[in-house]
Amino acid sequence: MTTTRWWVVSDAPASGREQMATDEALLDLARESHDVWLRFYRFSPPALSVGRGQSLSGIYRPGVAEIGADLVRRPSGGSAVLHDDELTYALAAPLGVVPGDVTESYRQIAEALLIALKKLGVAAELAGPEAAPAGRGRAANCFVAPSAFELTIGGKKAVGSAQVRRRGGLLQHGALARTLDFERWSACFSAPGPARLGWQTQMEARATGLFQHWPKATRPSDLAIEQAVVAGFSERFAVELKPVSLPVETRETARAALSVPDRFAI
């Protein structure tokens, strides 16, 4: 019987296309190795990632360019996320390691993240099952309202998650937003004017960064966040996660995907 191993990868900042290509290759790796891979990274430059099946009708392209962000199509579902002041995680696993359907796996992964946030001193909670199902009838902006079992602070959405299942594997993305710049976010969804102000007001009322109101000097480092998340997964799933570099073959698979000009681009 094959024993599933859990690995953790801390990766360098890179463009949206590079990060999405790497995550897609990570999903292939998880299926082939029968192991679980947890990868942390940042986007450089910032990027607005659009869900796999999301319409572009709600995206304001000139606004994305205005704030100096890339526009990228991610392999997972859900609505658009501005990856700016955040640490991103990607979890790739063979189906069955995190059992249940999409909603149930969301719950289990969110429980691991909840443990992590409590270790960091963040008073987060899980949205209940009555929250909107992921990807159904949602606004263009992922952070307008939580889905079932997503993480909230004071009732406001604080972590964005999206998942895809393909050929026996699961890939979940998560945006661990340190702070949210509501002006920059709203620029991605509307031209300047009342509508943009409406997006900004709506986000301020419904979303928050994990450390939005913490003094800058007290906010944890990326390394501290990574360590807390690793501890959360270790505790929730009763496993040991070992640090490792991503295999050279997986990097090559990602580079090959990027050789296709329109891959992940919009």
pLDDT, tens digit, 9 for 90 and up, residues 93-102:
999 898 888 8
Q: Which pLDDT score is estimated for 1? A: 42
Q: Which pLDDT score is estimated for 128? A: 77
Is a pLDDT exceeding 70 seen at residue 133? no
In a domain, 185, yes or no: yes
Average pLDDT score over the chain = 92
Q: Pick the more confident residue, 123 or 142.
A: 123
pLDDT, tens digit, 9 for 90 and up, residues 62-115:
999 999 999 999 999 889 999 999 999 999 999 989 888 888 998 999 999 999
Task: Count how many domains the chain has.
Answer: 1
The residues that are catalytic are 142
Is a pLDDT exceeding 90 seen at residue 17? yes
In a domain, 142, yes or no: yes
Q: Pick the more confident residue, 136 or 255.
A: 255
In a domain, 203, yes or no: yes
Q: For the stretch 245-258, what's the b/e string if a residue is b when 16 or more beta carbons lie within 10 angstroms of its beta carbon?
A: ebbeebeebbeebb
Interaxial angle between packed helices 248-258 and 16-33, expressed in degrees from 0 to 180 and rounded to the nearest 10: 130
Q: Pick the more confident residue, 260 or 147.
A: 260
Q: In the predicted model, what is the mean pLDDT of residues 185-208?
A: 95
Q: Which pLDDT score is estimated for 2? A: 56
Q: In the predicted model, what is the mean pLDDT of residues 48-62?
A: 93
Is a pLDDT exceeding 80 seen at residue 153? yes
Residue 215: count other Cβ atoms within 10 Å of its Cβ: 7
Give the C-alpha separation, 150 to 119, whole Å: 18
Backbone angles phi, psi at 165, to 5 degrees: -120, 130
Quote the domain boundaries for residue 75: 6-258
Sequence-ordered list of residues with C-beta below 8 angstroms from that of 26, at least 6 positions apart, any chain? 37, 39, 90, 92, 171, 246, 250
Is a pLDDT exceeding 80 seen at residue 24? yes
In a domain, 180, yes or no: yes
In a domain, 263, yes or no: no
pLDDT band, very low/low/confident/very high, at 136 (cuts 50, 70, 90): very low
In a domain, 126, yes or no: yes
CATH of the domain at 73: 3.30.930.10
The answer to whether residues 83 and 58 touch, using CB atoms and an 8 Å cutoff, is: no
Three-state SS string over 172-241 comes to: EEEEEECCCCHHHHHHCCCCCCHHHHHHHHHHHHHECCCCCCCCHHHCCCHHHHHHHHHHHHHHHHCCCE
Each as own residue / partner, the long-range contacts of residues 27-31 (CB below 8 Å, 24 or more positions apart, any chain) are 27/75, 27/92, 27/164, 27/166, 27/169, 27/170, 27/171, 28/169, 28/250, 28/253, 29/92, 29/246, 29/247, 29/250, 30/92, 30/93, 30/94, 30/169, 30/170, 30/171, 31/94, 31/167, 31/168, 31/169
pLDDT, tens digit, 9 for 90 and up, residues 161-189:
899 998 889 999 999 999 999 999 999 99
In a domain, 265, yes or no: no
Sign of CA dihedral 180, 186, 192, 194: negative
Q: Pick the more confident residue, 55 or 134.
A: 55
Burial class (CB in 10 A: 0-12, 13-18, 19+), 121: exposed
pTM of the predicted model, to two decimals? 0.93
In a domain, 97, yes or no: yes
